[in-house]
Amino acid sequence: MRSRRGRRRSRYYLWLLLATLILIARTPVAADMARRWLPLVKDGIHDPKSPALRLLQQPGEALSRLPADVAGSQVNWTAALEQGRINPRTNILPETKIRVLDTDILLNLRGGTPIVRFPHRQHTVWLDCGNCHEQLFKSKAGANKFSMQLILQGEQCGVCHGAVAFPLTQCGRCHNTARDKPLPAAAVRGS
């Protein structure tokens, strides 16, 4: 027969196990399985009395079917497009020219953090050249002065990243190229 002390100890370990399991469940690895979206009626901005709530699509219904991400809307929109899981329209007006560019630009070449390899393709499948050029950024490589401070304030890349595109907590997704290895040859050197 087990002693009272032994029983108490096993209960202690049970609690410890439970706490650990909850901790694991909340990590980014598990987040893929635990993605969740608030129903519109509880999202804090829709009026629960609005008749629209019976008709509008629920975010969970639409987004749970798309490739997972750990931040933002919890959907990797680039992957969703590349895998053909969504096929959003490129234009409404038939005369609109669809422009896609496939050049990578290396940025932050003299900084301390890893180099930024900016891919034009992933941006231009969604956006038009005119959305960034020439107002936000000059087209000439090396002509732009980037500032993380400005980006955090919603300028430059921060016009989208941090508001509608993946947030600025995802450092490594832009600062994605090691400084101590040979630089990718195909990429253009920026500032």
Partner 1 sequence: MRKGMLMCLLMLMAAVAVLDVAPARAEYGDVVLNKRSDKEGMRPVIFSHWFHRIRFRCKVCHDELGFKMRAGANDVLMVDIVDGKFCGLCHNGQIAWGTERCDLCHSGRHGLESRIHGGNQSLGPGRW
* DSSP notation for 131-148: GTTTTTS-SSTT-----H
Binding of residue 167 to partner 1 (CB under 8 A)? yes
Q: Would you call 118 helix, strand, or coil by DSSP?
A: strand
Stretch that binds partner 1, among 71-79, 109-117, 138-146, 174-182 (CB under 8 A): 71-79
Q: Would you call 129 helix, strand, or coil by DSSP?
A: helix
Token digits of residue 91 = 């234009």
Q: Would you call 15 helix, strand, or coil by DSSP?
A: helix
Binding of residue 62 to partner 1 (CB under 8 A)? yes
Stretch that binds partner 1, among 72-80, 106-114, 138-146, 177-185 (CB under 8 A): 72-80
Options 1, 45, 185, 186; binder of partner 1; rule CB under 8 A: 45
Q: Which CB sits closer to partner 1, 173 or 179?
A: 173
The H or E element containing residue 171 is helix 171-174
Give the whole-angstrom CA distance, residue 49 versus residue 52. 9
Give residues in contact with partner 1 (CB under 8 A). Answer: 5, 8-9, 11-12, 15-16, 18-19, 22-23, 26, 36-38, 43-47, 50-53, 55-57, 59, 62-63, 71-75, 77, 86, 88-93, 96, 125-128, 130-131, 152-155, 158-160, 162-164, 167-169
